[in-house]
Structure 1
Amino acid sequence: MMNRPSLTTWRRLATILVVLLISAAALGLRLRATQLLPIDYDEDDYLGAAQRYAQFLAAGDVRGLVDYAYNYEHPPLTKLLYGAAILPLPPAPLLPERPSTDPPAKSLPQPHFRIARTVSAVLGALEVLALTILQPLAGLLLAVHTWTIKYTSQVMLEPLPSLTSLLTVLFYINSRRSRSSGRIRAATGWSILSAVALGLTAASKYTYCIVALAIAADAVWLALAARSLRDDAAARTLRDDAGALDHPLRAAIFELLLWGLIALAIFFAANPRLWSDPFGRLAQSLRYHGEYAQSAHVQQYNFPFWQPLVYLLGPVPWHPGVFVVMLDTFITVLAGLGLGRLWREYRVCALWLAIGLGFLLVWPTKWPQYILTITAPLSLAAGLGFRAALWEPLLRSVQRRRADGRTAAAARHAAAAQRVARRDARRAIPWLTPGIIALSLLALFPLIYQAAVALTDFNAISIRDGIQGGVWRAVWQGLTGQAQPVAVGIFESVTRTKEVHWAGPSVLIQLLGGAEPDLLAFNLLWAALSVSLQAVLGVAAALMLHRRGVRGRNVWRTIFILPWAIPEFVGALIWLRILEPGFGWLALAQGIPADALRAQAVAGPNATLVQLLVAATWYGFPLIMLAATASLKLTPDEVYDAAAMDGAVGWQRFRWITWPLMLPLLAPALFVRGIFAFNQFYLFYTMRVEPPTITLATASYYLFTPTGYFGGQFAVSAAINIFTVLVLLGLILWLARLTRGEATEEVTYA
């Protein structure tokens, strides 16, 4: 009699099936993109290099492999792989070696171009396979990420280093797991594989080597954690036979050096161009990137430093019909929800994401393909975020309902509680009615009317019809199927008529799908930076004035509160007079010529952001200071005395004593300032800033005002307002969840 497969066996088979299905879907999406995507920048350059490498390989010309200098700024491994793929094909006329800044070629030789793109798609699917094995939902999200599909379906450098950098981290994770379970030999093997993958990554494209920084940071973190437990005999690991490496940090550094040397050896072995002059040609290649980042070609685009966030918050905008689904915005939102779990479960991937994003924000070259350095950890964070924020709460809710329905007593108790709640509600209705009416007139009706306007094409031309009931007529016709929706775009010239028409939720769907990621990216960045600076300055001022022996404490507090007492519009006017180019107080005080200061002021969005942050921090920090001061006054001195007896000083005292006790009062102030910052309007309007440094509220005003080329689009302005409300609700729920544990924690003093 045959044994039936166990439940564990069925689960393994189901997991294997899911992994294969996700990988097959990833390959199918990328093969589809290889057929539909037009020829992009650099594809002709890399295919031309592949043609020449194929010639060298066919002729056994080692000298040609070593001395081929076109496109020398990038390592040759990916181009060598493309060359090996087209090697069996009949030779085609060589593509000319043109400057990389030239427009892409109009046609490329076939089937060489198709084969090279297919190799790219296979490598992209293998990356998805590797991530799916670690976390299936993360692999699915990476499989449908449009930027990843685009640049792993073209003849680009990204597919191979994307795969090998992910393998570098995955092999490192396996090494750590093997070490923690006592399998030292397996840990050593995985560590060597990680080093090999890192060497191949460096031989493919330099920027992907940020994974090495993440792994080094994680290894040092673990070593410092082990060092803090040095009194525990079980924590004294990483000791060699001679007992020389009995210090965890020293041992970790030694292992990292060995790991780096192996990776360096693989890098030189896989980079033929370095065989004749390793250090000279490597320095030449690296120097090119620094010079190119400061070149006129890069500076002419004048991208803000937060441009990578724009790419991450929206799908590829250039190729309609190529991508089956466009979920990039939701992937980034889910990644934000999963950052905490990513840190707890895969700290090295969290470090990879943080270091990579920091590099992308700092590095002057802002091409969209660079974000592929972090799309793998981003997808992993998104998968964990979906599980933590959506899937697990849903399961817990279902389990609670099942548990509540198991006993008749629980059902009777729930029914009785509902009857009591309904009775209390009926008794309260007469007292609540005036407030409900006032709330409906002042808040709910304007919101409902604005939502109705967002479903139409209401504009300045049709204002008479809209005010006389055209908005409600159009909405009724659309909801009842009597009218077909008209096309309405964002920041687009539209055909306007004197009647209001049904447009449907198209504009809102465009916004939710990432149609204007530059607005959302700046708005989120602005809220985060302005509130963070206000919090730092406000808490610092409160701490300084709370110290013993400070003279004139109340006077200083009064002075610091003055910016908050000044109306926001007036404060914005003050800063406009200070920073106005040419005739502002700053220009007059420093004697700077008007033209020179004006050139500095309009040099780019980065300088504009700095000026705006200075003004916002000035009139935003007093509220934070007041909340911090109140919390400090409520904290008894006995807590600090006990901490001093335990040896807590400086940063430890603030991190573990002051900050947790301050957060319950500070969190509401941060919420309020965050809402004000996200809806900031007066400052941007008064300072006369233009896109991309405007908030959603400012964009809504520009679209609403019946002046300018895109002005008078009331419906689009209303849709942006509804979208802002939805984003704010999401941010409030997310921040409330982050601070719930610490902000509501009760403190008991003995």
Structure 2
Amino acid sequence: MSRTRLLALLVALAAVLVAVWQRAHAVERLGQDFDEATYLPIAFTYAGMLEEGRWADIGKLRENFEHPPLVKLLFAQTVRATGAPEPDWSNVPMGQPIPDAARPVFRATRSLSAVAGVLQVGLVALVDPLGALLLAWDPYHTKYTSQAYLEAVPGLFAVLALLAFERARRHGFAPGWTAVSGALLGLAAAGKYPYGLVGGLTFLPFLVAGARTRWRPWAAIVVSTAAAFLLVNPALWSSPFALLWESITFHWDYSHNEHVRRAALPWYQPLAFLTDTWLSASDPGIYLTHFNARALLPLAVVGLPRTWRERPVWAVGAVVGLVFLLLWNTKWPQYLLLVLPALCVCAGGGVRTLAHGAVRLYRKVQGSRSRVSAGG
């Protein structure tokens, strides 16, 4: 094994270990967050339906209908598998240490998210080990893949979709891998709609440029995406188009409602989140470093040209994701997970670009010194 490959392997291993350590601590130490107070009671409702075989009733549940039920159903199955009892939610304070009575359900459901988060880091390590290390200790990725949020599972499917789409592109968009990437994209959308939207917009320019007027690749990705999305989305089974439209339009209305307007977050708020140490400083016992707040965006900018040459799908994913975050009115910090894996890949390319530049500069200086010495 070459020295370069050995170093890459060691960095990838370090990334996975950091990801496991940081998320394990976050699962245990983070207090209840706002969305957990919505998703976990629904998970127990779904668990009751599943226990009684009432699949048809899943689509009738109107609470939180704006988000598809896939991740909440996974939380429900986790609750059933572990036997975690439902706590008295009125006795689970927001942002405070989890009471002992509620700890089993939080530990079980958060562990599901954490496993998906660690798997994302491991998959990114296949693309860029340095990018995986940046993702491993990123405070936003850690927090929202260590709580019972919707982000971790669709984020995992989105990363898998990018990898499969890269393979499809290398094979000239043969229907097989193209269909696999579409199915994974559909699963990502069935976890949370924006992951499917950002992934689809990332794929689109490559399909336009590479598939052109060939109908098979387009059919493969459209059919597989739609089939996977509907298959794992029982909330839409009774009336797919009407219910999907209702759910999607909710997000548009919500992004313009009083709650969002009252928050008054500026259009550049995602960039402010990425460059602020507020989260990494909030609990030094969980988040290892402020490094990403200081360097992630600059490194991604430096590494974007290199990533475009080496892994163009990830470069486009980073740009599309950032543009989406800047344009979309809802600016909550968990939305950063739409772009963080691709952004970290670009930043890993930035680290390598700077390192190679430093080596070239050093060799140039050494060569100049040698010529001066020889001339003297």
TM-score (norm 1): 0.46
Deviations 1:692-741 (A, max 9, x none): xxxxxxxxxxxxxxxxxxxxxxxxxxxxxxxxxxxxxxxxxxxxxxxxxx
For 1:270, which of 229, 232, 240 is the aligned residue? 232
* Residue matched to 2:62: 69
The question of whether the paired residues in 2 share the 8 Å contact of 1:338 and 1:383 is answered with: yes
User: Aligned residue for 1:344?
Assistant: 309
AA paired with 1:218?
A: F
Q: Would the alpha carbon gap of residues 383 and 296 (structure 1) be closer, same or farther in structure 2, given more than 3 Å must change?
A: same
Distance 1:166 1:315, change over 3 A: farther
Q: Structure 2 vs 1, CA of residues 147 and 79 (structure 1 numbering), >3 Å: closer, same or farther?
A: same
**1:69 Cα deviation after fit:** 2.2
The answer to whether residue 140 in structure 2 is matched with residue 147 in structure 1 is yes
CA contact (8 A) 1:331 1:382 kept: yes
Contact 1:48 1:94 in 2 (8 A): no
Partner of 2:209: 221
Cα distance in 2, alignment partners of residues 18 and 350 from structure 1: 21
| Contact in 2 for aligned 1:218/1:351 (Cα 8 Å) | no
Equivalent pair of 1:207/1:373 in contact (CA under 8 Å): yes
Q: Shift in Å at residue 290 of structure 1? A: 1.2
The answer for the alignment partner of 1:607 in structure 2 is none
Give the 3-state SS of the residue equivalent to 1:48 in structure 2: helix
2:213 counterpart SS class: helix
Q: Take 1:16 and 1:387, find their aligned partners in 2: how far apart are those partners?
A: 15
- Select 2:372's aligned residue among 387, 410, 414: 414
Specify which of 174, 191, 201 is matched with residue 188 of structure 2: 201
Give 1:26 shift: 0.7
The 5 A counterparts of 1:626-665 are none
Residue 314 of structure 1 aligns to a residue in which SS?
coil
* In structure 1, distance between residues paired with 2:365 and 2:329: 53
Return the letter of the residue paired with 2:187.
L
For residues 396 and 61 of structure 1, do their structure 2 counterparts lie closer, same or farther at Cα, with a shift above 3 Å needed?
same
Matched to 1:221, the amino acid is A
CA separation of 1:92 and 1:105: change in aligned 2, threshold 3 A: farther
3-state SS of 2:343 partner: helix
The one-character-per-residue Cα deviations of 1:393-424 (angstroms, maximum 9, x if unpaired) are 2332455567x49xxxx84x41266x6xxxxx
In structure 2, the partner of 1:379 is 344
Higher relative contact order (CA 8 A, sep 6+): 2
**1:335 aligned to 278, 296, 300, which one?**
300
> Secondary structure in 2 aligned to 1:171?
helix
Match of 2:213 in 1: 250
Q: Quick one: structure 1 residues 266 and 316, their matched pair in 2 at CA, closer, same or farther if it must change by over 3 Å? A: farther
Q: Conserved in 2, the CA contact under 8 Å of 1:152 and 1:158? A: yes
Note closer, same or farther for the CA distance 1:313–1:221 as it changes in structure 2 (3 Å cut): farther
Using the TM superposition, name which of 199-208 and 55-64 deviates more. 55-64
User: 1:323 maps to what in 2?
Assistant: 287
Q: Is the 8 A contact 1:144 1:326 kept in 2?
A: no
| Code of the aligned partner of 1:219 | L
User: Which stretch has the larger CA shift, 85-94 or 286-295?
Assistant: 85-94
What percent identity do the matched residue pairs reach? 34
Alignment deviations for residues 646-680 of structure 1 (CA, whole Å, 9 cap, x no partner): xxxxxxxxxxxxxxxxxxxxxxxxxxxxxxxxxxx
Q: Could you tell me which residue of structure 2 aligns to residue 83 of structure 1?
A: 76
Q: Specify the alignment match of 1:52 in structure 2.
A: 45
Q: Quick one: distance in 1 between partners of 2:189 and 2:88?
A: 26
Query: Shift of the alpha carbon at 1:105?
Result: 7.6
**Farther-moved stretch of structure 1 (84-93 vs 24-33):** 84-93
Aligned pair in 2 of structure 1 residues 94, 105: CA closer, same or farther (>3 Å)?
Answer: farther
In the alignment, the residues of structure 2 paired with residue 262 and residue 353 of structure 1 have an alpha-carbon distance, to the nearest angstrom, of 24
Q: Which runs of structure 2 are paired with 1:461-476 in the superposition (5 Å)?
A: none
2:345 and 2:254 map into 1 onto residues whose CA distance is 32
Aligned equivalents of 1:91 and 1:40: distance in 2?
19
**Runs of at least 5 residues in structure 2 that lack an aligned partner in the other structure:** none
Residue 295 of structure 1 corresponds to 257
- Using a 3 Å threshold, how does the CA distance of structure 1 residues 160 and 211 change in structure 2: closer, same or farther? same
- Select 2:30's aligned residue among 32, 37, 44: 37
* TM-score, length of structure 2 as denominator length: 0.90
Offset at residue 216 of structure 1 (A): 1.1
After TM superposition, the structure 1 = structure 2 runs for residues 565-644 of structure 1, keeping only pairs within 5 Å, are: none
Establish whether residue 165 from structure 1 lines up as the match of residue 158 from structure 2: yes
Q: Is contact 2:179-2:220 (8 Å) kept?
A: no
In the TM superposition, what is the alpha-carbon distance from 1:39 to its structure 2 partner? 1.4
Distance in 2, matches of 1:325 and 1:105, equals 22
- Offset of residue 95 of structure 1: 6.2
Gaps of 5+ in 1: 1-6, 98-102, 224-248, 420-750
| 109-118 or 119-128, larger mean C-alpha shift | 109-118
